[in-house]
Amino acid sequence: MDRERPACRWGADGRLDALPLWSDAVALKFATPDSANVPPPRLALLSEWPRAAWGLGRLIAEWKTLDGVPRGDGHPVILLPGLVNSDRSNFVMRRYLNRLGYRAEGWDLGRNLGVRAIGPEGERLMARIAALHEETGEKVTLIGISLGGIMARIAAHRHPELVREVITISSPFAGPPTCTNVWRQFEWLTGEKIDDPAVSARLKEAARPLPVPATAIWSRNDGLVNGLICREPEGSPGRAIEISSSHLFVQMRPEVLRAVAQTLGGQSGSEAR
């Protein structure tokens, strides 16, 4: 008898039209954390690269089928990369969103090395957002991958007048860094300790419900971060879209590209300015 495969879901709103490959289904069954208070199991971590390779293969196969989504309205979008990554890591998503009609740009701050990239108070990131807002006359949508999503949420809290919407992708903003398999790498790359008061304060700020529309795309079988801390708690105003994916190259998954495009296309124009 065939086992039922988990579908990619729009939370309580229905389903996406993409199904995970068997590798993701197996990972979902055998490599998911038992609670939100632990890092992903070792099996999930070990499966990251094979599953990421499958995802890239799907992107190549499905690239020409990704146009069946709402067209963009031209509003500005900034993509924030994950830890140690640069704008090159989200080139595919920027190209896709620009093709749909959005003005999608990188953050232009080099590699994401935490405060080493954005400044102690995030001032370089805020200057980038403010400059694009001033240039276009429109609020800016922020799309953050992993650590970039935490930064996007903090930016929206501090300057909601500049931010139209926040979309996070596999971003562990709702729990402690010890619920990830990369917290040591974070410390080494950023020069900060996870128990530093400044780090703890930023995480608490990121975890609070946002004053702007928020969508969290997350995977229960993520091998690097606990997917259960990549979404707001049940009953919160933020929207959650569950997928089945590796953490690596998640921003290149066809279902993630579709989910981002559909989320952007559903944004009310009355909230754009």
Q: What is the CATH number of the domain that holds 255?
A: 3.40.50.1820
- Residue 143 included in any domain: yes
Indicate the number of domains in the chain.
1
* 182-to-155, 190, 265, 269 alpha-carbon distances in Å: 23, 12, 33, 38
- Residue 4 included in any domain: no
Least confident of 118-132, 143-157, 221-235: 221-235
Confidence at 25, pLDDT banded by 50, 70, 90: low
pLDDT at 235: 80
Confidence at 8, pLDDT banded by 50, 70, 90: very low
Helices assigned H by DSSP within the chain: 22-30, 42-46, 48-62, 91-100, 115-118, 123-136, 147-158, 183-190, 197-207, 254-265
Confidence at 43, pLDDT banded by 50, 70, 90: confident
- Residue 58 included in any domain: yes
DSSP string computed for 170-225? S--TTS-GGGBS-HHHHHHHHS--TTSHHHHHHHHHHHSPPSS-EEEEEETT-SSB
- Residue 18 included in any domain: no
- Residue 171 included in any domain: yes
Residues 185, 5: Cα–Cα separation, whole Å:
33
Residue 244 has pLDDT above 60, yes or no: yes
- Residue 149 included in any domain: yes
pLDDT at 78: 99
Q: Please give the residue range of the domain that contains residue 189.
A: 38-264
pTM of the predicted structure, to 2 decimals: 0.87
- Residue 210 included in any domain: yes
**Across the chain, what does the average pLDDT equal?**
88
Q: Evaluate whether 227 touches 179 at the Cβ level (below 8 Å).
A: no
pLDDT at 152: 99
In sequence order, what are the residues at sequence separation of 6 or more whose Cβ sits closer than 8 angstroms to the Cβ of residue 37? 175, 179
- Residue 17 included in any domain: no
